[in-house]
Amino acid sequence: MKTSKLLVASSLIMAIVLLIGSCTNTPPAPMKAKLIPLEDFFKNPEKSAYQISPDGKYFSFMAPYESRMNIFVQDREKDSAIRITSETDRDIAGYFWPNNEQILYLKDNGGDENYKLYGVNIDGTNLKCFTDFENVRTQIIDELEDIPDEVIIGMNKRNPEVFDPYRLNLKTGEMTMLAENPGNYQGWMFDHDGKLRIAFAIVDGVNTSILYRNTEKDEWKDVLTTSFKDNVSPYFFTFDNKNVIGTSNLGRDKSVVVEFDIATGKELNVLYENPDFDVEGVYYSHKRKVITAASYTSWKNERYFFDEETRLLFERLNKDLGQYEIGISAYNKDETVYIIRTYSDRSLGSYYIYDKTSDKLDKIVDVSPWIDENEMGNVNPVTYQTRDGLTINSYLTLPKGYTLETAKNLPVIVNPHGGPWHRDGWGFNPEVQFLANRGYAVFQMNFRGSTGYGKAFWQASFKKWGLEMQDDITDGTNWLIEKGIADPKRIAIYGGSYGGYATLMGLVKEPKLYAAGVDYVGVSNMFTFMQTIPPYWKPMLDMFYEMVGDPKNDSLLLREVSPVFQADKIVVPLFIAQGANDPRVNKDESDQMVKAMKARGIDVEYLVKDNEGHGFHNEENRFEFYRSMETFLNKHISK
């Protein structure tokens, strides 16, 4: 089950509600959760990110070494593992097995997101950095599963605004540029033989093109040009390297799985569609050369099976693990040994190894054994209507012991997600469960623009930052009050990135609705934000202007939705946290807001970490941030 996209899965948990029975007509008092140490929610997992060698003889994982996540390798026939990396300044961002003798990994410096690619032998020897270039970001384009000593990477070494594809020889370190990016190419795709056949380009700033060539000696040919508002995403070539399997919403609202003739750009047939949700992933068996499954997200992750063997595999796993959600995180080249990950909304879950040949399923490790899922809060899917008639899918996490029927007059944290073109999902979220353990209900809403709900819902967010997008959040907050769930005097708003921006705008637009706000790496000034984005975002600026606003043509709009120019409307306490090396939301965004607040004498707390970027990744910094936030919330909205 192979997908061309590298997916990072986050683990999630669901809480069972326990109530004390009563013989009277008075509702029973909820059973209070045991107060769990803050560090238990935010410390590094015991072991995570399990993978398996192509030959299936070894498995690998990440685990803490001097409070940083490093890579360990273990022979499947032995009881102990060896640590093969010793990074102490920053967690390793991700890794994979290119062959049976070596592991590759990515790491940045202080959160600057200029990732470098490293290689190390599985016994810890011969550590080398393949892309040791200053202010250069490395991407993994294709792992080249059938070519063990080569990978395809992308780097913005030649031009910081664009990425060129390189073939990297892992034995010699030699890199060969495969094509020179003319300045508007945003991605590349290879066939099953490792040949560069497809490029993705931006045309006229707001249109996107798929370019194709039959061989690497041919010239590029534009086979399909569409508005960026339409999504045509090739995932992988058919197994004869002729057509392409991918997703498309061209001529329809929802993305569906299609096969199309890449030489002409014509859709041949629809392989699977869901009437309510975008299909987000398509997978295949490299060994058996069949499409196996598609995935989409309703309120939980869902699968559609094309392949009976894959369906039976999940049926087998569900027989033993069905009380949890199940994912396959890795497998060997022969597709006989699988690493299985379980999770729920109450648990970070466990890793298992499944040997298909012997039908043996063994637990490897619990990810965070110090978390007792019986003490976690219940994550409830809920919906509400906006003032203009949209249905907003949301999640309400309640403290232990409460149900939707018994939750009344609770302190609430309204928690809009980042992106904003992203979405919240069901599962274990450490900060949500931490807040629920402290007695707060946590409300997460997929406001307009959130992904997975179709083209129209996404486009309804265009040029609506701080306007209808913000109204969706307000309407959800008022819905909680109307239902009697929220104590109207004890509601705070908290979010990161776009969620941080929404926090600031919430305090601006609704000064009496929220008692306090927490802004985590959020935008405050739309003009300076657009001036300080990473250089490799610049080719997409025209799209961003159409989605958010043009600093020249829409200057009045952008000023209206920039919190820093309306700081005088904020009358409640504010806590701001920022990484000094943030490449996406420059530190100046937070500096401006703090300055504007202090000039008015409004209570504002400011936490800056010099060794962090867009969000805090180092364990000790996570502890400090959440400890400060807990104190802040206790002061302003706790009983």
Known catalytic residues? Answer: 497, 582, 614
Q: What is the rounded distance in angstroms from the CA atom of residue 122 to the CA atom of residue 302?
A: 35
- For every residue of 364-432, which 3-state class applies, written as one string? EEECCCCCCHHHCCEEEEEEEECCCCCEEEEEEEECCCCCCCCCCCEEEEECCCCCCCCCCCCCCCHHH
For residue 189, which amino acid is it? M
**Cα distances (angstroms) measured from residue 19 to each of 13, 28, 155, 387, 435:** 20, 7, 56, 35, 20
Bond prior to 535 in cis (omega within 30° of 0): no
For residue 415, which amino acid is it? N
CB distance 281 to 452 below 8 Å:
no
For residue 297, which amino acid is it? T
Strands (E), 204-324: 207-212, 221-227, 232-237, 244-248, 256-261, 266-272, 279-285, 290-297, 301-305
Report angle CA 268, 272, 278 to the nearest 5 degrees. Answer: 110
Provide CB contacts within 8 A for 60, sequence distance 6+: 50, 51, 52, 53, 71, 72, 73, 74, 95, 97, 103, 122
Provide CB contacts within 8 A for 1, sequence distance 6+: 283, 284, 285, 292, 293, 310, 328, 331
Q: What is the rounded distance in angstroms from the CA atom of residue 138 to the CA atom of residue 70?
A: 19
Q: What is the rounded distance in angstroms from the CA atom of residue 38 to the CA atom of residue 631?
A: 12
Report angle CA 306, 148, 180 to the nearest 5 degrees. Answer: 90
Beta-carbon count within 10 A of 183 CB: 12
**Cα distances (angstroms) measured from residue 86 to each of 82, 106, 115, 534:** 11, 13, 17, 29
Tokens coding 474: 């307000």
Q: Is 607 helix (H, G, I), strand (E, B) or coil?
A: strand
The torsion defined by the Cα of 114, 120, 126 and 132, in degrees rounded to 10, comes to -10
Provide CB contacts within 8 A for 125, sequence distance 6+: none
Tokens coding 18: 């326990």
**Do strands 391-398 and 378-385 pair parallel, antiparallel, or not at all (unpaired)?**
antiparallel
Strand partners, 341: 327, 351
**Cα distances (angstroms) measured from residue 316 to each of 303, 312, 355, 359, 543:** 15, 6, 12, 9, 46
Tokens coding 354: 């499944």
Q: What is the rounded distance in angstroms from the CA atom of residue 457 to the CA atom of residue 249?
A: 13
Q: What is the rounded distance in angstroms from the CA atom of residue 117 to the CA atom of residue 94?
A: 10
- Cα 158 to chain centroid distance, Å, stands at 29
- The per-residue b/e assignment along 373-388, b for 16 or more CB within 10 angstroms, e otherwise, is bebbbbbbebebebee
CB distance 401 to 377 below 8 Å:
no
Q: What is the rounded distance in angstroms from the CA atom of residue 627 to the CA atom of residue 20?
A: 31
